[in-house]
Amino acid sequence: MSTLIAIREASLSGNGGDYSPAKEKAANRGVYGARSPLLHRRLRLLVGGAKYKLILLFCLLTAIYLLSSKISPFMGWNLHYPSSVSSPSRGGYTVLINTWKRNTLLKQSVAHYASCQGTDAIHVVWSEVDPPSYKLRDYLKKMVQKKSQTAHKPNLRFDLNEEDNLNNRFKPIQDLRTDAIFSVDDDVIVPCRTLDFAFTVWQTAPLTMVGFVPRMHWLNEEKNGVVHYRYGGWWSVWWMGTYSMVLSKAAFFHKQYLELYTEKMPSSIQDYVSRERNCEDIAMSLLVANATGAPPIWVKGKIYEIGSSGISSLKDHSDKRNKCLNDFVSLYGAMPLVSTNVKAVDARHEWFW
């Protein structure tokens, strides 16, 4: 406005010629025309600014997130798993649940795994003195029928044992319709989508163990020709970025290892497990590694432990695991475990992978 006032004053005073409305109108157009390049420059600076880019990126990502579930079928993002996961012709998998006097947890576990599409059968390893009650059996059978989402309903069976022995969880099972065994504790819940993905991973390497709970070992010391190893838990795996075992509390393996564990593995290892009431999972990991010469496969996935206590909660658990590992290795005569840092990730559900 200051420029406009100056022009008008100059015109009225006679310095810019005689005053006329046309001259004033022309002067006004010139004033605003001169301001337009300035506005354009400011807009360009705003558009090119980092703040604007961040806002634009945030809006774009938000839109993609909100619309992905609606547009994914049209873009080829099929969130359903291949038919081989649930097709009886490909076998699916048998869920082998190890339980001990925790019927409430067992009910939750059976109900959940019955709802997974890949489940062909559910076997409960029962090692209590008293057999399961008819009430419990009927409840679980009804739950399987209710929760199953497939036309083929999973077969539920109790595998009864006369004594409490951790080796019971790896006894051979007659008339299995699947090659794949998913071994799981009664207090571990793996979401069905995660479980079915792990099954597809196992199908690519059916002779190895594929699981969700990695553990590791490392050479601790060697004195006078005697080698001593250390057993590493989850925090060791996280820190070192490597592992050599996946625990059978949540893992796939081929049914042939049930027979190998019971019939071919040195009986001294089974005796050790029976006596110490521990380390059957380490024994299975050594058995598979010794048979294949290959590492296991750790599948990234969230699992839920719904129990409150177990062997691993005992104070001297870590020391016992160290002793188990070294005693088993001495029985084998060498260390069969193979370390790896490979992890299987379902890229369809990861932003970064």
Q: pLDDT tens-digit profile of 183-230? A: 999 999 999 999 999 999 999 999 999 999 999 999 888 777 788 999
* Better-predicted residue by pLDDT, 249 or 162: 249
Give the pLDDT confidence of 275-290 residue by residue, as tens digits: 999 999 999 999 999 9
Give the pLDDT confidence of 85-122 residue by residue, as tens digits: 444 335 799 999 999 999 999 999 999 999 999 999 99
Residues 287 and 260: beta-carbon distance below 8 Å: yes
pLDDT above 90 (res 147): yes
pLDDT above 50 (res 79): no
The one-letter amino acid code at 348 reads: R
* Better-predicted residue by pLDDT, 248 or 17: 248
Q: Which strand ranges, in their side-by-side order, compose the sheet holding 245-246?
A: 226-232, 214-223, 245-246
pLDDT of residue 9: 38
Question: Of 138, 281, 319, 327, which one is the catalytic site residue?
Answer: 281
Q: What is the mean pLDDT of residues 48-70?
A: 56
pLDDT of residue 312: 55
Q: What is the mean pLDDT of residues 58-74?
A: 48
Give the pLDDT confidence of 15-57 residue by residue, as tens digits: 444 434 444 444 444 444 444 455 455 545 554 555 556 666 6
Enter the pTM of the model. 0.74
Range in 43-52, 121-130, 329-338 the model is least confident about: 43-52
Give yes or no: 187 in active site. no
pLDDT of residue 45: 56
